[in-house]
Structure 1
Amino acid sequence: MTSELTTPDATTPTSPPEATPSDPRRGNLTLAAVLLAVLVVPMSISGTAVALPAITSDIGGGASGQQWVVNAFNLSFACFTLVWGSLSDRLGRGRLFAVGAATFAVGSVASALAPNIVVLDIARGVAGLGGAAIFSCGAAILSSAFDGPARLRAFALFGTTAGIGVALGPTLSGLLVDTAGWRPIFAVQAAVLLVVLAATPVIGLARPAGDAGAKFDLLGTVLLVLGLLAAMVGIVQGEPWGWGSPAVVASFLLAVALLVGFARVESRRPAPLLDLELLTHARFMALCLVPVAASFGFVTLLTYFPTFLQFVAGQSSAKAGLVIVLLTIPVVVGPLAAGRAVGAGVKPLVVIWIGLGALIAGDLGLLLAGPDTAVAVIAVPLLLAGCGMGLSAGLVDGQALALVPEEKAGMAAGVVNTMRLGSEAIAVAVYAALLTGLVTRRGEEALAGVAGVGNATDVVGKAASGDLEQALAAAGPDVREQVAPLVIDAYNSAFHTTLVVLAVVVAGLSGVIAVLLRRGAGAR
């Protein structure tokens, strides 16, 4: 997410209601329980980024382990969004919402108690599994529990709450890291979800909304999850293992085989997890690529720019979290601004193109960031990148769902969000692999001429993970002052190169979007 977490389309057709609270107080409690859970998920995504240097310093893990703190959550969230939605129609939305909240709480407790990076990565994956249920089942609950203006209000609050979670995550986490350490971040999340679980009995939506006897697409689910997992392992481990190593090549080949198998299975299923016909709709796919562009242009910054601020600019976790608010504020206000613009007669695609342009301009504008750069200098680029995310949030979903038949609207929403969340996991992994490789190579080159450095490989490895103090400790006390500016410069240079790559990727995706939109218009 944030991840980009957006307002579901309030007009999307739903299954027959499971229950409608006749008591307004019960309806308000239902809404409060869902929104409280929804608040925690994006806070967890954006807030964890600020804690990464502290986590690495405390329990180690290096750059690869650090990446999986983020990637495990994102991958698990992305893989199971469609799965939870399908299961909730068979087993009951309220019941699975509670299961999701409990799963997230368990993952958060395990994260807070993690003795090493492996346990933490696994725990984050468990939390991501629960987060997928909270969002997919929570949206379905609101759709079933409210009608008319009340439903519109509920979904508006759903989107606003998600945006607030994205915005508050870095600030709250930064303050906790500086005052109490990184572990309380996850303990707080678990405590909030225990409150949510206490309120779930008021939801009372246990009866399935659809055909409980319909056969669940288990084979398709397994192929999709394993295929995405194999691809992610190849991307994340490409740098440490070597891109041409047998393990990395095998991971990519396995991913291709599994995803091709998934496509074949889905093409033959009477009730598939994913109807592949949706992927042949040019205009629909163009809109699906907009959040993919936002993943590369925004989510990568949300995840790793706090580390840059701490490593290169020497800021504390708390200050880095406050600076990131400039990036996240537009995510809260952008959807409302976009809606008002469209309501005033601006074409939706114009707003979307403005957002894509803002992403590119924001990424390139951050080339101004450096060791001595004032926050005022990078404020505009951060706001632009945030606008690139915020302006498309919600607007893309509504435009995409309007293109498909009513009976496929739920599945179409699943496709949009799976591409959104899956691309976030991939974008973060690609960013981290590229940055790590560049820092390693440039750091080794810079340290080659320094006599007395301990283990240069160890020094640049710790620098690549964003831990300056550990890098300098590995260099040795005699050369500490000499090494510090060299590794900071290596990180800064690598970050700037990565920014250019991100802008090029967003520009390339924008070109593909333009081609698909033109093709879709021609088809009509």
Structure 2
Amino acid sequence: MSATTAEQLKPVEEARGRRGPTLAAVLLAVFVVPMSISGTAVALPAIGADLGASDTALQWVVNAFNVAFACCTLVWGSVADVVGRVRVFAAGAALFAVASAVSALAPGALVLDVARALAGVGGAAIFSAGAAILSTAYEGPARARAFALFGTVAGVGISLGPTLAGQLVATAGWRWVFALHAAALAVALLAVPLIARSVPTSVRGSARVDVVGGLLFVATMVLLTTGIVQASQWGWGSAGVLALFVAAVVALCVFVGVERRSAHPVLDLGLLRERRFVGLALVPVAASFGFVTMLTYLPSYLTAVTGRDGSAAGWLMLLLTVPVLVSPVLAAKLVERGVSATVLILVSLGCLVVGDLGLLLFSPHVSVAVVALPMIVTGAGMGLSAGLVDGQALALVAPERAGMAAGFVNTLRLGGEAVAVAAYGSVVATLTRSGTYDSAFHVVLGGLVVVGLLLGGGVAVLLRRR
């Protein structure tokens, strides 16, 4: 090898050597975000008792984070493409850390709600920029492995969040839940200089941040998600909820009109003409209906209908969550060995439908042996596509649009979860008024199977070869 060639390869090898710390820092930050989503709910009773907060104020401890996260994901992705992914990742992690520290010290519910909203804004930046960083830093099989870990860590965060938060509340108090988030992100921030040296510069010097488009998109998402959140309290047919939905549609129409004329849109509408990209982006929506609803509401069924205590319900839920932790890495290994990613994604959607169909076997006195396989299959359906979808979708777009693409995929993911969970809860509550919780659970679960078939069929059509 010539001296010139060696000099040319040296920066590449140095960048590869920094990928380990880059991956670790991104995954640590990614772990904290879903852990915060699922774990904070466990602390609500203790927060209410300590701060004397009303039920509405307590609900917004969770909802403020979720709404802010869903609203800002796409915007942060677009901003990351313009000003740089590492800068946005660092800004998001810093904002989340500061907001979590404020949450830990909050003297009242209002301060806590505002701090949680700011944490949601930071979490959106972490997810959008973090996925774009991995897409830029890795390629080929290495990218598949990185996104498999991305999906696994996100699954671990959302699965272990309630357990870790419960232990902290019981032993140290609810404030330490948020203090832990702040400490973890402070550690991630220490690796930012290494991340900056391992990721190629992604700043688009000629581009400008689409401020008007961003504000319109945030307004659309705020109106939509607030309507969904409040529907469970006000009713889906209430004047307030309908007004929010109408306003969201109007804001969306204005947003589309503005984006068509923008030189540097927050969302390039041309992405929506890429059939395969849209199909991949819809996979997390199917997973939201088929898996996230079960993760959210099955524990209530286990305690209220089957008579299990909280501990027994928690152990049984491992049948649903453990496959999520294993399947992403398995999917990446299968892709490395030549298995089609499209086939694996379609198998994952099939598992969600078959698993949910099997969960109809649940009854007040059901044996674990009867429902174990459907729960495992449902969890595998979620895990096989987690991470794989993100990597495949971002590989379809130009590197300078990776942040925008990651933001769009995660916006559909978060929006799908909000719609699925809120709709499930609202329909179950309505059906329970005229029947039993057991019958309502089975009716809605049957509806989820139908939704899964429709979404799966649509994705299959979009992903088919031309």
The TM-score bracket by the shorter chain reads: 0.7 to 0.9
For 1:354 and 1:151, locate their aligned partners in 2 and report how far apart those are by CA, in whole Å: 21
Q: Which moved more, 1:156-165 or 1:498-507?
A: 156-165
Match of residue 278 from structure 1 = 271
Structure 2 residue matching 1:42: 3-state secondary structure: helix
- Counterpart contact for 2:141–2:336, Cα < 8 Å: no
Q: CA RMSD in A?
A: 3.6
Instruction: Tell me the residue number matched to 1:251.
Output: 244
Contact 2:129–2:403 (8 Å) recurs in 1: no
C-alpha offsets along residues 12-44 of structure 1, whole Å, 9 cap, x if unaligned? xxxxxxx98948886544443333222212222
Whole-angstrom CA distance in 1 between matches of 2:59 and 2:357: 24
Determine whether 1:74 maps to 2:20: no
Residue in 1 aligned with 2:34? 42
Q: CA deviation at 1:169?
A: 2.4
- What pairs with 1:119-518 in structure 2 (closer than 5 Å)? 120-142=112-134, 155=147, 157-177=149-169, 179=171, 182-204=174-196, 209-212=202-205, 214-313=207-306, 319-369=312-362, 372-401=365-394, 403-404=396-397, 408-439=401-432, 441-442=433-434, 490-517=436-463
Report the equivalent of 1:464. Answer: none
1:158-191 Cα shifts (integer Å, max 9, x gaps) = 4443333234324323444555565543332222
Post-superposition CA distance 1:490-523 (Å, at most 9, x none): 44443333322222222222233344456xx5xx
How far did 1:129 drift? 1.3
Which whole-Å CA distance do the structure 2 matches of 1:61 and 1:371 have between them? 34
TM-score, with normalisation over the residues of structure 2? 0.82
Preserved CA contact (<8 Å) 2:220 2:249: yes
Q: Is residue 88 of structure 1 aligned with residue 88 of structure 2? A: no
Give the Å deviation of 1:295.
0.8
User: Matches of 2:106 and 2:425 in 1, distance apart?
Assistant: 23
Deviates more, 1:90-99 or 1:326-335: 90-99
Identify if the C-alpha distance between structure 1 residues 368 and 258 changes in structure 2 by more than 3 Å, giving closer, same or farther.
same
In structure 2, distance between residues paired with 1:159 and 1:116: 35
The answer (yes or no) to whether the contact 1:42–1:166 under 8 Å persists in 2 is yes
Cα contact 2:67–2:222 (8 A) shared by 1? yes
* Structure 1 portions without partners, runs of 5+: 1-18, 446-489
Equivalent residue letter for 2:331 = A
Q: Tell me which residue corresponds to 2:7.
A: none
The TM-score, its normalising length taken from structure 1, stands at: 0.74
Count residues in correspondence. 454
Give the distance between the partners of 2:320 and 2:414, measured in 1 at CA: 19
Instruction: Find the residue that maps to 2:207 and give its secondary structure.
Output: coil
The letter for the 2-side match of 1:380 is L
- On the 8 A contact 1:50/1:321 being kept in 2, the answer is no
Distance 1:222 1:314 in 2: 48
| CA distance in structure 2 between the partners assigned to 1:365 and 1:61 by the alignment | 39
Change (3 A) 1:308 1:114: farther
Alpha-carbon offset, residue 289 of structure 1? 1.6
What stretches of structure 2 of length at least 5 have no aligned partner? 1-10
Contact 2:287 2:382 in 1 (8 A): yes
User: 2:148, 2:387 within 8 Å by CA — same for their partners in 1?
Assistant: no
- Counterparts of 1:178 and 1:496, CA distance in 2: 34
Q: CA distance change for structure 1 residues 119 and 502 in 2, over 3 Å: closer, same or farther?
A: farther
The separation in 2 between residues aligned to 1:241 and 1:509, in whole angstroms, is 29
